Amino acid sequence: RRSNHSKFSITCLPVHLTVSPAAERLRYILGDDEETMPTPTLFTEMDTLQHEGDELEWRESARWVKFEEKVEEGGERWSKPHVSTLSLHSLFELRTCLQTGTVLLDLEGYSLPQIVDDIIERQIEEGLIGAELRDKISFVLLRKHRHQTKKPIHRSFADLGKSGSGGSECSIFKTVPVSPSIPTHIVHNSRSMNDIAETPSTDQLKNKFMKKIPRDAEASNVLVGEVDFLEKPFVAFVRLSQATTLGGLTEVPVPTRFLFVLLGPLGKAKSYNEIGRAIATLMVDDLFSDVAYKARDREDLIAGIDEFLDEVIVLPPGEWDPKIRIEPPKKIPSADNRRKSVFSLNELGQMNGTAGGRGPVSEDEVMPAPHELGEELAYTGRFCGGLILDIKRKLPWYPSDFYEGFHIQSISAVLFIYLGCITNAITFGGLLGDATDNYQGVMESFLGTALAGTVFCLFSGQPLIILSSTGPILIFEKLLYEFSKNNGIDYMELRLWIGMHSCVQCIFLVATDASYIIKYMTRFTEEGFSSLISFIFISDAIKKMVGAFKYYPINIDFKSDYVTAYKCECLAPDPSKSILGVEHVGTSLNVTALDWTQLSKKECVKYGGSLLGKSCKYVPDLALMSFILFFGTYTMTVTLKKFKFSRYFPTKLRKLISDFSIFMSIMTFVGLDMLIGLQTPKLIVPTDFKPTRAGRGWFVMPFGKNPWWVYVASSVPALLVTILIFMDQQISAVIVNRKENKLKKGCGYHLDLLWVGVLMVACSFMGLPWYVAATVISIAHIDSLKMESESSAPGEQPQFLGVREQRLTGILVFVLTGVSIFLAPILQFIPMPVLYGVFLYMGVASLGGIQFWDRIKLIMMPAKHQPDFSYLRHVPLRRVHLFTLVQIVCLAVLWILKSTFLAIIFPVMILGLMVIRKMLDMVFSQHDLAWLDDILPEKEKKKKEDEKNTTKKDKKKGKGGDDSEDVSVLVVRLLKERRRLLGLK
């Protein structure tokens, strides 16, 4: 079109080449300096002018920290936090208000009267109002502020009758019924009759809402209302040079930085309130608040509104109900993406609504982060280079690893992990006793767990890892014992030499930085391994529970109608056999003198009697009671763990209940078991400190019982053990050290493996089981130590801050495991089904957050009911199912191998998973694998090389005359210069 002020014409170019002036200003205002201090959190309060009889007052109507809370109809309570829904009209009106009103930036203000005087003085200087309105406006702005506070119960009941007849006095959408005219005699004395308090009141100082506001927060106050003495709106936006506490202006004693005032003629109360809500919502917007703090003039503020409008999403009025309050999202989108769009995408003016309906690249459209495990696994190429770096990395944190453990959360973690460890020790100890003819048993399991675990937690690189016996090691011990027994080789001595060879091999792997190969273990391998361990926990817990039904069968044949026919009698033995029976028990009792009908079941059998009757084989329903304890412990634990997200009780109490959920569940069902009094199977703890097998000592001699060639040949089975330990330890460490856990103290893969190898030798010399990282218990340890933000904005979910990284909980767990031998009188009251329930919970909880498990559930879901996972937006569903099917087949193969004598090659099959993942590169595209798994390091390197080659080709091509991109950039620059010359906004 042709401009009225110029002979030049502006040609309508394609949309993707238009330039956003707002983006240009914001780039200049915000800058691209990452070292700039973050702006404080803003608490925004909106007060509305109300008429109470002959008095005027400002009444709090809404507040914002992240989301909007409004005073409900009747003024009795705050609404639930909700996302502010604004009309476009109110945003455009706000933009006009800032263009035409007064904008005071970096005003020196020390009190509200002085600030009000400065605002009015500026308005008079700019000719926006007449001097005769000075006192009236000042009088209105300095009226007292009534904040929404908790009313007494009797006051609330008394107000119920008023709300039915007189209606609400606090409704912000209600026009003041009586014209708030200012009496003349008051106006003349307005300067001496300021109602607003100069200092915060007691209610403000004791307001519990301060817990929801960060300590460095500042306030933004919005004042809107209608008066009868104005013919056009009185608008002012003020930013103070220093945040100042302005007495009773704000609900909480937070210093005020921004002030927005809107007074207007009568009849537009709803419009004024919507404009006030618009500026209040903008002030808590991360990007606009940055602009408000750094703006130099009103044009910068308007540019901030324009950017906000560019990002706004409009809801069609006919397709949703404006009365609906939108719930806050569980995860708030990061404002960094919008900042990046200002500095990158908007450089060519690609705003929302660009050509083809495509807006800026959203977070979901960006490729996922590449597979990186950090500098801890970097190949140094030096002898023990990785180990030395691990020690240097962990040494500065060593003191804090102890004093940071002194927290109430650590108590719940210790109790939880302790019960899991002793259950594991008893289970594996019993199985080892059966597999090795009691050369290793429960006593050795307790002592080995305490020794290895304590030393590892004291000196390892990642003390959050919990050491334990594992299934593959158990199977290896069983096969090794059978081999030794069949070939006449001393089992303990052979095992000692295997442990020494394995230790040397582990030290060799540490010295050569062999842990580097963990970089090639992508999510595919990690999820396959962790899922297998989780399913082992779940299946073992269920197997133990099903076994109870075999030992204690339910009395299915019992019929209540025949209760009179159920009896059991003790019959005397035949006279010819009675003497033999008495001699057998070693007594000289006279059989004929006994009253056989009064003997108990045990006495009857002892003295040779026989039992006769239908109820003689009666067994109490211990299986049913065991199932109640098992399933009840699991269900109650899951329920209480989620209790911190419920709506009942204060936040601290909910979190406390969640942290101690395991302990409370166990104590509840131990109490129930004691109350019922049935003889359910209880925890069996050894009471005497001595080896399980009589005749063996606490130390194993390395020579004297086997031929010399055994000492050399033992290096072959030691290699299998080393592979098993390496894979089990390092995969568990990778899972614990995931970026999602936000660990800050770094990790030590090489240092961990060194101590696992050293502990193998120590345990081998003492005849104790071998220990390695336990994946499920370690994950449970991490979960029990997760930290969340204490102060969060209303409606905002607590933010995950990381894990309480320390050594104290692990040390206490293993010390308690060691002293459990002396706690037998107490521990014997814990039913085994309760501990099976804990096992089930640990297995199920460790599956949470595993993408593989989520994709398995997708197979059984119709497409319309599937969750909005990010990979479903980018990868076809059939490809997702194919990838999941491959993982299921691999998991099934691992399960079969684990359940047979081939379990000894289990660690080799873990390496096989890495080979299978490599083969998937030929089946799936790199794009699909980037979303479903991780790109292998070689592919990432090759991709970067391809990008470099492409860049070189483009440069050569550009020299040949392909200047299409340069033309586009030139057109954009010409447009910028043209807008500057024409003065267009």
- DSSP, residue by residue, 540-551: HHHHHHHHHHHH
The DSSP output letter for 47 is E
CA distance 447 to 449: 6
Which percentage of the chain shows pLDDT scores above 70? 76
CA distance 155 to 150: 10
pLDDT score of 901: 64
> 506-562: per-residue pLDDT in tens?
888 888 888 777 777 778 887 887 788 788 778 878 888 888 777 777 776 677 766
CA distance 934 to 451: 38
Say whether pLDDT at 575 is over 70.
no
Which percentage of the chain shows pLDDT scores above 90? 7
pLDDT score of 10: 39
Say whether pLDDT at 178 is over 70.
no
Q: Are 596 and 571 in contact (CB under 8 A)?
A: yes
Q: Cite the DSSP H helix spans in 192-285.
A: 202-205, 269-283
Q: Are 874 and 931 in contact (CB under 8 A)?
A: yes
Q: Are 22 and 980 in contact (CB under 8 A)?
A: no
Q: Please return the burial class of 236, using the count of CB atoms within 10 Å of its CB with bins 0-12, 13-18 and 19+.
A: buried
CA distance 661 to 223: 47
Average pLDDT over residues 359-363: 45
> 20-42: per-residue pLDDT in tens?
676 677 777 776 555 566 788 89
pLDDT score of 194: 64
CA distance 451 to 865: 50
The domain segmentation of the chain, as residue ranges, is 43-148+197-314, 407-551+627-849, 851-937
Say whether pLDDT at 276 is over 70.
yes
Average pLDDT over residues 348-356: 39
How far lies 797's CA from each of 77, 269, 788, 800, 820, in Å? 21, 34, 9, 9, 40
Q: Please return the burial class of 206, using the count of CB atoms within 10 Å of its CB with bins 0-12, 13-18 and 19+.
A: exposed
Say whether pLDDT at 966 is over 50.
no
Kind of pairing between the strands at 55-64 and 42-52: antiparallel
Q: Are 854 and 869 in contact (CB under 8 A)?
A: yes
pLDDT score of 310: 83
Say whether pLDDT at 950 is over 60.
no
pLDDT score of 338: 67
Q: Are 451 and 763 in contact (CB under 8 A)?
A: yes
> 436-491: per-residue pLDDT in tens?
777 887 788 888 888 888 999 888 888 888 888 776 777 777 778 888 887 888 88
Average pLDDT over residues 736-750: 81
Say whether pLDDT at 17 is over 90.
no
Amino acid at 421: C
> 799-828: per-residue pLDDT in tens?
777 788 888 888 898 888 888 777 767 777
Those residues with Cβ within 8 angstroms of residue 387's Cβ, 6 or more apart along the chain or in another chain: 510, 511, 750, 751, 754
Least confident interval from 179-183, 337-341, 371-375: 179-183
Q: Are 530 and 775 in contact (CB under 8 A)?
A: yes
The residue that leads in pLDDT, 637 or 319, is 637
Average pLDDT over residues 182-197: 51
Give the tokens for residue 807: 């050594």
Say whether pLDDT at 16 is over 60.
no
Domain at 43-148+197-314: CATH code? 3.40.930.10
Q: Please return the burial class of 493, using the count of CB atoms within 10 Å of its CB with bins 0-12, 13-18 and 19+.
A: buried
Pick from 750, 807, 803, 738: which is nearest to 775 by CA?
738
The residue that leads in pLDDT, 195 or 168, is 195
pLDDT score of 624: 84
Amino acid at 845: A
Say whether pLDDT at 691 is over 90.
no
Q: Are 4 and 984 in contact (CB under 8 A)?
A: no
Pick from 281, 837, 122, 894: which is nearest to 529 by CA?
894
HSE value, Cβ hemisphere, 13 Å, CA-based, for 940: 15
Least confident interval from 20-34, 83-97, 148-162, 827-841: 148-162
Say whether pLDDT at 972 is over 80.
no
CA distance 558 to 540: 31
Say whether pLDDT at 985 is over 80.
no
pLDDT score of 368: 64
Say whether pLDDT at 573 is over 90.
no
CA distance 732 to 530: 8
> 883-925: per-residue pLDDT in tens?
889 888 888 888 887 776 666 666 677 777 888 888 888 888 8
The residue that leads in pLDDT, 161 or 23, is 23
pLDDT score of 905: 67
Instruction: Report the chain's mean pLDDT, rounded to a whole number.
Output: 76
Measure CA 723 to chain center. Answer: 33
Give the tokens for residue 16: 């993707």
Q: Are 332 and 51 in contact (CB under 8 A)?
A: no
Say whether pLDDT at 579 is over 60.
no
Amino acid at 288: F
258 confidence band (pLDDT: 50, 70, 90): very high
Q: Are 108 and 241 in contact (CB under 8 A)?
A: yes
How far lies 470's CA from each of 164, 456, 480, 685, 781, in Å? 70, 17, 16, 20, 17
pTM, full prediction? 0.63
